[in-house]
Amino acid sequence: MEEFDFGMVGLGVMGRNLLLNMADHGFSVAGLDLDAEKAASLEQEATEEHKVKGTTDAQSFVALIKKPRAIMLLVPAGKPVDAVINSLLPYLEEGDIVVDGGNSYFPDTNRRVEELEAKGIHFFGMGISGGEKGARFGPSMMPGGNQSAYERLRPIFEAIAAKVNGEPCVTYLGKGSAGNYTKMVHNGIEYAIMELIAETYDLLKRGFGVKNETIQQLFEDWNNSELASFLVEITADILKKNDEVTGKGLLLDYISDTARAKGTGKWTSQNAMDIQAPVPSIDAAVQMRDISKYKEERVAASKLLPYDGIATDIDEETLLKTLKDAFYFSMINIYAQGMAQLYIASKEYDYGLQLEEVAKIWRGGCIIRAVCLEDFRKAYDANKDLPNLLLDATLAEKVGATQQAARDVVKLAVDKGVPVSVFMTALAYFDSYRSETLPTNLIQAQRDFFGAHKYERTDVDGIFHTEWN
């Protein structure tokens, strides 16, 4: 019987494309999906050089894979992952490797590692980023967990990964659920940068009446500057796409303003709170998607609570230049929050993450790829134990030089009544982080006043309580 190098369960957007990417690189691949049409269309999409087979039956699928087997799951996170594992288990053997390539919640990965290792099956989570095109032509991949299992599959993953300066955008990241955790934070950063771009667009369009064409050109120009990044690039493309249904204007102007989410941004925020890693801009981006869902209430409130904004005397050229600097400032602050969360999580969960490696594999293939990732890589190369990017002298200088623009943009948005939660939180994060003193002495005093929670003094060691009245 013909045997295949690699098996994929879930032939949707990611699974199908990743499998074809492997086939492009000479690996023979078999795919399993419950949907017979998807299994058949995989074979139809393959070229003559590809060695590809699609099936809908778990037992015959497992039998198709060379031993010890390598099987990846790219099915929706949560119950489907457990369902697939349970459907494969009766046919798997000791030494087989199962990789979860989806956006699984990291505690689920820890549980699955334990359950499967007890049966002699190696299981590891590997976050994958790049969307449909990335999966097909070169994603960024974030594996963690069982390192020897990863090493066995390394040649396949390195072959299919995006390359930057010839280096593959995949590397072993760390123990346990390190891979899924890193992908989760990647998505948290993704949420915040997307919201930052949306706020830029909103401030220009709604606040200042700037035309779609000018905004399109702005993002195109930014993509040829230090702001160059995948999300800026696709925004410039989105602002060029005409509506084919009406034949009038941009498609964007017809799209509903209620955003959906699958959960990774929320998990990033929730876990950041658990481990006391402040990520206010990611929190704000999650909250803005949530606020967007209350469409009917927003429409009612827009009538009850009008605000026309006040006139500002800024000319368009200065506005665009100020926004560019403010965007740079905010973007660096967003990455700083996400990377600091990884730094803290690595200690909390004993992942052993090397942040230089994370920055390195995010330079290409993934949704948050951006030229600034190379600056981050250099920062972590210079200091392997850097707790926050804002403490890197080179980045601090660049962020310091653009802070005034961020302050100006926030003031302009306030004057216009346009919400810019991510610009605001990025600035507040910066101002809090660079504050030698914060008013938390008052919080301590209040806690002791009402709850006898005690406090520390700045001049004498020890824990104190005061009878305040």
Ligand X SMILES: NC(=O)C1=CN([C@@H]2O[C@H](COP(=O)(O)OP(=O)(O)OC[C@H]3O[C@@H](n4cnc5c(N)ncnc54)[C@H](OP(=O)(O)O)[C@@H]3O)[C@@H](O)[C@H]2O)C=CC1
Q: What residues act catalytically? A: 183, 190
Residues 120-149 that bind ligand 5RP (CB under 6 A): 129, 131
Number of residues that bind ligand X (CB under 6 A): 25
Task: Tell me whether residue 56 or residue 388 sits nearer to ligand X (CB atom).
Answer: 56
35, interface contact from ligand 5RP, ligand X, none, CB < 5-8 Å by kind:
ligand X
Interaction of residue 79 with ligand X, rule CB under 6 A: no
Say how far apart CA 398 and CA 178 lie, in whole Å: 30
Interaction of residue 15 with ligand X, rule CB under 6 A: yes
Say how far apart CA 97 and CA 407 lie, in whole Å: 51
Structure tokens that stand for 423 in this block: 């610009």
Give min distance, CB of 215 to ligand X, in A.
25
Give min distance, CB of 7 to ligand X, in A.
11
Residues 437-456 that bind ligand X (CB under 6 A): none
Task: Tell me whether residue 127 or residue 176 sits nearer to ligand X (CB atom).
Answer: 127
Task: Tell me whether residue 89 or residue 391 sits nearer to ligand X (CB atom).
Answer: 89
Report yes or no: 207 and 413 within 8 Å, Cβ to Cβ: yes
Q: Cβ neighbours of residue 76 under 8 Å, at least 6 residues apart?
A: 102
Interaction of residue 36 with ligand X, rule CB under 6 A: no
282, interface contact from ligand 5RP, ligand X, none, CB < 5-8 Å by kind:
none
76, interface contact from ligand 5RP, ligand X, none, CB < 5-8 Å by kind:
ligand X
334, interface contact from ligand 5RP, ligand X, none, CB < 5-8 Å by kind:
none
Q: Quickly count: other Cβ atoms within 10 Å of residue 155's Cβ.
A: 12
Give min distance, CB of 367 to ligand 5RP, in A.
4
Between the alpha carbon of residue 372 and those of residues 198, 362, 375, 394, the distances in Å are 20, 10, 5, 12
- Choices 47-55, 76-84, 196-204, 381-389 (CB under 6 A): range interacting with ligand X: 76-84
Residues 239-268 that bind ligand X (CB under 6 A): 262
Interaction of residue 324 with ligand X, rule CB under 6 A: no
Say how far apart CA 284 and CA 198 lie, in whole Å: 13
Interaction of residue 84 with ligand X, rule CB under 6 A: yes
Sequence-ordered alpha helix ranges (H) in 161-263 = 178-202, 208, 212-222, 230-238
DSSP class of 145: S
- Choices 11-19, 245-253, 306-314, 452-460 (CB under 6 A): range interacting with ligand X: 11-19
Say how far apart CA 111 and CA 177 lie, in whole Å: 10
Structure tokens that stand for 91 in this block: 């046919």
83, interface contact from ligand X, ligand 5RP, none, CB < 5-8 Å by kind:
ligand X
- Choices 36-44, 196-204, 258-266, 356-364 (CB under 6 A): range interacting with ligand 5RP: 258-266
Task: Tell me whether residue 131 or residue 309 sits nearer to ligand 5RP (CB atom).
Answer: 131
Among 55, 171, 187, 333, binds ligand 5RP (CB under 6 A): 187
- Choices 3-11, 197-205, 241-249, 339-347 (CB under 6 A): range interacting with ligand X: 3-11
187, interface contact from ligand X, ligand 5RP, none, CB < 5-8 Å by kind:
ligand 5RP
Say how far apart CA 25 and CA 47 lie, in whole Å: 12
Closest CA to 202 of 193, 187, 190, 215: 215
Structure tokens that stand for 440 in this block: 């938390």
Interaction of residue 103 with ligand 5RP, rule CB under 6 A: yes
Among 102, 174, 176, 365, binds ligand X (CB under 6 A): 102
**How many residues can be counted in the chain?**
469
Task: Tell me whether residue 97 or residue 185 sits nearer to ligand 5RP (CB atom).
Answer: 185
Among 6, 8, 14, 418, binds ligand X (CB under 6 A): 14
Interaction of residue 104 with ligand 5RP, rule CB under 6 A: no
Between the alpha carbon of residue 12 and those of residues 17, 48, 100, 135, 213, the distances in Å are 8, 22, 14, 11, 35
Helical pair 178-202 and 106-117, crossing angle rounded to 10 deg: 160
Element of type H or E holding 88: helix 79-88
Interaction of residue 367 with ligand 5RP, rule CB under 6 A: yes
Q: Is the dihedral of CA 293, 296, 297, 302 positive or negative?
A: positive
Tell me the β-bridge partners of 126: 143
Say how far apart CA 61 and CA 27 lie, in whole Å: 16
Among 51, 60, 115, 131, binds ligand X (CB under 6 A): 131
The 3-class SS string of 253-290 reads: HHCCCCCCCCCHHHHHHHHHHHCCCCCHHHHHHHHHHH
In the complex, the residues that contact ligand 5RP under the rule CB under 6 A are 103, 129, 131, 187, 190, 261-262, 264-265, 367
In the complex, the residues that contact ligand X under the rule CB under 6 A are 9-15, 32-35, 38, 74-77, 80, 83-84, 102-103, 128-129, 131, 262
